[in-house]
Structure 1
Amino acid sequence: MNKVILLGRLTRDPEVRYSQSSPPVAVTRYTIAVNRRFKREGEADADFIPCVAFGKAGEFAERYFKKGMMVCVSGRIQVSSWEDQQGQKRWSTDVIIDEQDFAESKASFASRKDNEPAPKEPAGYQPSAEPEGFSAISESIDDDDLPF
């Protein structure tokens, strides 16, 4: 069984691109900082987990998720490999999102946002490289498509 459930804060605003397939599909990437329960002296106290949401879920994340927001997601781990332009084999490990939810109220996020910095990715952290073939988002999301 390949099932992942994460609760953490977004390290930056989600970034969406659209596939060049017909019809185009939203591919949204974001990273969640998940606090470690136990830590050793000198170790990081959070893990930075790259996530990918497709289609309507990706459009939802891009529109409503913001840096520093506490979210709860579930999905599966996927390991991908490809050759880069220099012919070197590259790997990425991502959580492919099945479900995503807010984990704090809008008011709580707004009041915390002013007083508490959002988690920062460690120096030198690079999110998974994105394969080519995507285009920028347009503002064509219809509010009638939202689940609430």
Structure 2
Amino acid sequence: MNDVKLIGRLATVPTLQHTAQGTSVTTFRIAVDRVSAKDATGTTSTDFFSVVAWNQVADTLVRYAAKGRLVVIDGRLQSRQYMASDNTPRAVVEVVARSVTFLDRPSGKDISA
């Protein structure tokens, strides 16, 4: 089973792009706090994850997201390989979002529209 749930803050602003077929897609990063099990003081560190969202999820994110918003990402892990511009092979693991839920209200925006 490949199922991922992350709660964190948007580290980058999602920007809408479209494939050649017109499908909406956005990529962004999410910052997730981690409490180390070895640290008795409860000191947190932060992990950053790349996320891809498609179709209506991408459209909604671009409309309401802002850097720093607290969200829940429900999705799956995906790995892929590609050739970088310097002709070196690269590998990336990213979260493909099935849904995104906002856990806070945007400051200064009316989301009732």
How does the TM-score come out when normalised to structure 1? Answer: 0.65
Greater per-residue strand proportion:
2
Unaligned regions of 5+ residues in structure 1, if any?
Answer: 112-147
Aligned residues: 106
Identify the residue that residue 34 of structure 1 maps to in structure 2: 32
Identify the residue that residue 55 of structure 1 maps to in structure 2: 55
**Is the 2:4–2:74 contact (alpha carbons within 8 Å) kept by the matching residues of 1?**
yes
Greater per-residue helix proportion:
1
Identity among equivalent positions (%) equals 27
**Is the 1:15–1:29 contact (alpha carbons within 8 Å) kept by the matching residues of 2?**
yes
Identify the residue that residue 45 of structure 2 maps to in structure 1: 45
The separation in 2 between residues aligned to 1:14 and 1:85, in whole angstroms, is 23
Deviation at 1:44, TM superposition (A): 7.1
CA-based RMSD of the aligned residues comes to 2.1
The separation in 1 between residues aligned to 2:12 and 2:89, in whole angstroms, is 27
Structure 1 residue runs of 4+, over 4 Å off?
Answer: none
Aligned residue type for 1:82:
Y
How does the TM-score come out when normalised to structure 2? Answer: 0.83
The separation in 2 between residues aligned to 1:85 and 1:66, in whole angstroms, is 30
Superimposed CA distance per residue, residues 29-54 of structure 1 (whole angstroms, 9 cap, x where no aligned partner): 1111000022767x971100110000
Structure 2 SS opposite 1:12: coil
